[in-house]
Amino acid sequence: MSPAVLALLALMLAIGLSMTARVNVGLLAIALAWGIGVYAADMKVEAVIAGFPSNLFITLAGVTFLFAIAKSNGTLDLLARHAARLVRGNAGLLPLVFFGIAGVLATIGPGAIASVALVAPIAMATGAQAGVPHLLTAIMVGTGANAGNLSPISAVGAMVNQLMGRIGLPGHEWKVWAANFLAHALVAIVAYFAFGGVRLFRAGRNVASEEAGPPFERRHWLTIGVSMAWMIAVIVLRANVGLSAFAAGTILILIAAVEERDVIPRIPLDIIFMVTGVTMLIGVLEATGGMDLFTGMIARIARPATLNAVIAFVTGIISTYSSTSGVVLPAFLPMVPGLVRQVGGGDPLAVALSINVGSALVDVSPLSTLGALCVAAVADPVAARDLFRKLLIWGLSMAIVGAVLCGLLAGLFARA
């Protein structure tokens, strides 16, 4: 069996296990990259190690380190609690507020999972008291968080932009964010109309006022100030995202805004190793020619006119059961140039945007972390089971919706 075939089978094994088992496929991918690269493909150990994305590791570790501080010292929780007071008034506005809060939090850095973890417990409880259907609340929270997930200053957005830069598509940071945001906003609007948002708005039912949360303290204001300075440095001064995040976090530790021992355990090393490990295996796949085999498989079922829709559907189905940021994006974005070449046409940027959108829209499924967090926030076990079933149907349907949206709009958006 050729090294190319072995590398391709290794990637498929990693994707399959990410959908069915609890093993960290990043660690498995690193081991497979070493074994296949050195002993099957006769690569130098140094060449295999060179495939480890050190820049990506620094970016992910730095951003998650900074926002682990904001979580550890209570800043993120206070921001979410105070923002939740905006839900007073007409219950029909609640789903829109949930979407906005989750979207803003994800955009400024913590990412979709952390944002849903913060917002879902408040939103599911508040929404239930006001008569908002659990399904609508869950969709608005999960979709809102995913809408902001690819901002240039979020960990996932920075990862996507680095991956796109490596395949010759740099400089599209805000287009990546905008395409993802608009797709999720469109889906959220449809859900609002379909699942009772307009009915609640017309009914004008009032929501009981939330009690004021605890006040902001010195450590919270310091965290907010330093984090805002970091965002300005990244957006305006083009500072390196990861290194500047490490610097900002270190400043907060030095000025006693947080205890260092409380922060380090909160850095999601499992996710970081998942992303970087799969990326390392992709490096071996490319070096052995396995990438051409993989893209050829997809190319057989696609044509230039249908490529955006096909790749959105394929990544959507896989992402329903797998990690979008940890497995799907690192595995599929590097395929874009070869896929376009083998299909015989297509816009590489449009294909990349289709992968981003198609893999993300399904993430409200309860088989994903976002959907699972929303289900877990429902106290009534009967209601939780009902929500699980409805979210599963919704999430799977988003694979088709993503394919249709990307087939119709990705090419137009890429050329805009």
pLDDT higher than 50, residue 170: yes
Each residue's pLDDT tens digit, 107-139: 886 678 878 877 887 788 778 877 889 999 999
Any domain includes 24:
yes
* pLDDT tens digits, 51-94: 898 887 888 888 889 888 988 898 877 876 676 566 555 778 88
Percent of the chain with pLDDT over 70: 94
- Looking at residue 204, its pLDDT comes to 62
Decide if 352 is inside a domain.
no
- With a cut of 90, say whether residue 405 has pLDDT above it: yes
Residue 104 lies in a domain: no
Is 321 among the domain residues? no
**What pLDDT does residue 321 have?**
67
Confidence at residue 257, expressed as pLDDT on a 0 to 100 scale? 94
pLDDT digits (tens, 9 = 90+) for 8-45: 999 889 878 876 777 888 899 999 999 999 999 999 99
At 394, the pLDDT band (50, 70, 90 cuts) reads: very high
Domain tally, the chain: 1
The whole-model pTM stands at 0.74
How confident is residue 300, by pLDDT bands cut at 50, 70 and 90?
Answer: confident
In this prediction, residue 209 carries a pLDDT of 46
The pLDDT of residue 376 is above 90: no
Share of the chain above pLDDT 90, in %: 43
Within a domain: 263 = no
Q: Is residue 404 part of a domain?
A: no
Distances (CA, A) of 367 to 19, 137, 316, 364, 393: 9, 17, 13, 8, 11
Look up the domain containing 26 and give its range. 1-50+277-288
Residue 158 pLDDT greater than 60, yes or no: yes
pLDDT over 90 (residue 301): no
Q: What is the pLDDT of residue 85?
A: 65
Asked whether residue 367 is assigned to any structural domain, the reply reads no
Q: What is the pLDDT of residues 199-256, one digit of tens each?
A: 888 776 555 444 556 789 999 999 999 988 988 888 778 788 889 999 999 999 999 9
Report the mean per-residue pLDDT for the chain: 87
pLDDT value, residue 89: 57
Asked if the structure places residue 29 within a domain, the reply is yes
Q: Reply yes or no on whether the pLDDT at 100 is more than 80.
A: yes
pLDDT (mean) for 362-381: 82
